[in-house]
Chains A and B, each alone.
Chain A
Amino acid sequence: MPLPLKVLLVDEEVVRAAMVEEALCQEGHEVICRLSSPASLNEMVARHSPDVVIIDMESPDRDTLDSMSLLHRENPRPVVFFADQHDPDSMQAALKAGVSAYVVDGLVAGRVKAVMDVAIARFESFQSMRKELDRARNQLAERKRIEKAKGLLMKHQSCDEEQAYRMLRKLAMDRGQRIADVADSVIDILERLEKGL
Chain B
Amino acid sequence: MSEANTFITTSRPPEIDTLTLGFIPLIDAALLIIAREGGHFAAQGLDVNLSRENAWSTLRDKVAAGFLDGAHMLAPMPLAMSLGMSRAPCETLAPIVLGTHGNTLVLSNRYAEGMAPPDPNDPARNARALRDLLSDRLIHHRGTPPRLAMVYPYSWQHLQIRAWLERGGVDPDNDVELIALPPARMVDALHEGQIDGFCVGEPWGSLAEHHGIGRIVASGADLFPGHPEKVLGVTASWAHRYPDTLSALLRAIQAAADWLDSGEEAQQQTLQWLALPPYLDRHVSHLDKLPLGQAPTMQYLTHLSLHPEAFAVMAAHMRPLAESRGNRLDPEVLARCYRPLL
Contacts and interface: CB of A to CB of B under 8 A. Distances in A.
A38 interface: yes
Interface stretch (B12-20, B36-44, B61-69, B239-247): B61-69
Interface of chain A: mostly helix, strand, loop or mixed: helix
A38 B54 contact: no
A90 interface: no
B179 A39 contact: yes
Interface string B207-236: 000000000000000000000000000000
Interface string B67-107: 10000000000000000001110000000000000000000
A83 B54 contact: no
A97 B40 CA distance: 33
- Residue from the set B54, B149, B325 with the largest chain A CB neighbour count within 10 Å: B54
A39 B181 contact: yes
Nearest to B65: A95
B275 interface: no
Interface stretch (A54-62, A149-157, A171-179): A54-62
Contacts of B177: 42
A81 B55 CA distance: 14
A38 B57 CA distance: 14
Nearest to B62: A95
A81 B185 CA distance: 22
A49 interface: no
B86 A64 contact: no
A119 B181 CA distance: 25
B84 to A, nearest CB: 9
B115 to A, nearest CB: 23
B101 to A, nearest CB: 22
A71 B161 CA distance: 13
A64 B177 CA distance: 12
B153 A59 contact: no
B269 to A, nearest CB: 29
Given A81-B87, A95-B62, A64 B181 contact: yes
B54 A62 contact: yes
A69 B62 CA distance: 21
Contact of A83 (B87, B153, B321): B87
B87 A40 contact: no
B55 A70 contact: no
Nearest to B321: A70
A40 B102 CA distance: 28
B180 A57 contact: no
A38 B185 contact: yes
A58 to B, nearest CB: 6
A42 B325 CA distance: 19
A66 B81 CA distance: 13
B184 A67 contact: no
A38 B194 contact: yes
Contacts of B117: none
Given A70-B86, A85-B88, A39 B152 contact: no
B338 interface: no
Interface in A45-104: 57-64, 66-67, 70-71, 81, 83, 85, 91-92, 95, 100
Contact of B58 (A58, A70, A91): A58
Given A39-B189, A67-B153, A95-B67, A62 B57 contact: yes
A70 B67 CA distance: 26
B23 to A, nearest CB: 15
A83 B88 CA distance: 6
B204 interface: no
A19 to B, nearest CB: 21
Nearest to B194: A39
B178 interface: yes
Interface string B135-177: 0000000000001010111000000000000000000000001
Contacts of A64: 179-181
Contacts of B58: 57-58, 62, 100
B55 A60 contact: yes
Nearest to A83: B88
B195 interface: yes
Interface of A: 37-40, 42, 57-64, 66-67, 70-71, 81, 83, 85, 91-92, 95, 100
7 contacts: A38-B181, A39-B189, A42-B177, A63-B152, A67-B180, A71-B153, A95-B67
